[in-house]
Amino acid sequence: MDNLQRSIRTVRLGYGANCSSLGSVVDVLFATAAVGTALMAAVAASLRSGTHTHRSESWGAWVRIDDPPALVALDHEGTRSLHLACSEAPQTSAPLEVHLAVTARCPVGCPTCYLDATPNGFAPSFAALLDRLDRIAQARVFTVAFGGGEPLTRDDLPLLAEHAHALGLVAVMTTSGYGLTRARAVSLTPFAQVNVTLDGTLSSEQALRTLVDAGVRTGANVVLTRHAWQVLEHLTARAKELGACEVQLLRYKAAGRGAVHNAEMRLLHAQVAELPETLRELSMRFVSPSFRLRIDCALVPFVDVALAPGALRKFGILGCEAGKALAAVDVLGRQIPCSVPDPECFKA
């Protein structure tokens, strides 16, 4: 290991449109030591060769690289070796990623929706969202994740993404894919990545394929319900076949409509106990240089027990990120710790 690799304190991989984008590397940790070593070498090589966006911290700097997509925490020695300008005042309070709710509208009515989005939900104005993006950029955040409701109910998504890009933000998005057309998919190329909720239906598969064919970097989200658990291997295989760059596994959230259906949809205790070995098997079978398997931070407690002490820390996986590396802005413009809200925050 060279000096630069020794200066890397944390690696948070990916562009993913969920809190898993803040560092889930379960596929690396469940693979082999050689895979992890190769990854760290690739990160160091990218740091040496690229033009970086970085943010000073009291301990060094966060640095964004694009190949592989990652945020890298470097100590002072590492920042000096790369000749990064770190004269600005250290900032340690700003999150790395902000989830921006661009609408509370959604025509789908999924029973797993933790926001209880409806066809008549509130949608902020274009000007209001521009202002919120400006404020997010001023806080020196790296990634903004567009969500809803269903973002595709807005016609101005490309303009919002372009504005985010002009501000130096990496824009990503999560969608059900409802009503997605080829022309609409092409318009989403300003996004660094778009994730489609894959539920085994033909419509979700068609949306994923349409985005891939339009040249959009596309991932698949799978909400881990009892039913999804039974077909998880199939869903992972289909996502890879359709051209997705990753599958992100999301814990079922008992909020919104999700609270109503929690008792019959959340994972059984036996399924939770099987999760680490299931991730290991899926990683060994499907993961490749072009395809990743990820989890959201809400699943970390179920996985950490199966790994060596400290294994997750090197890759910035510390459990729930709400209010720390992650923050959210709801449809009314209020800053909240996470896009999964406390029900109290929606009361007038």
What integer pLDDT is reported at residue 231 of this predicted model?
96
Query: Any bridge partners for residue 259, and if so which?
Result: none
pTM confidence score: 0.91
pLDDT in tens, 312-329: 766 667 777 777 888 999
Say how far apart CA 6 and CA 13 lie, in whole Å.
18
Q: Give span(s): CATH 3.20.20.70, the chain.
A: 97-346
Closest CA to 281 of 271, 273, 270, 293: 293
pLDDT in tens, 69-110: 888 989 999 999 998 877 555 555 689 999 999 999 998 877
Closest CA to 151 of 121, 174, 185: 174
What integer pLDDT is reported at residue 139 of this predicted model?
92
Report yes or no: 265 and 225 within 8 Å, Cβ to Cβ.
yes
CATH architecture of 97-346: Alpha-Beta Barrel (3.20)
Report yes or no: 105 and 59 within 8 Å, Cβ to Cβ.
no
What is the percentage of the chain residues whose pLDDT exceeds 90? 49
What integer pLDDT is reported at residue 348 of this predicted model?
34
What's the distance, Cα to Cα, between the start and end of the chain in Å? 55
Closest CA to 192 of 242, 142, 251: 142
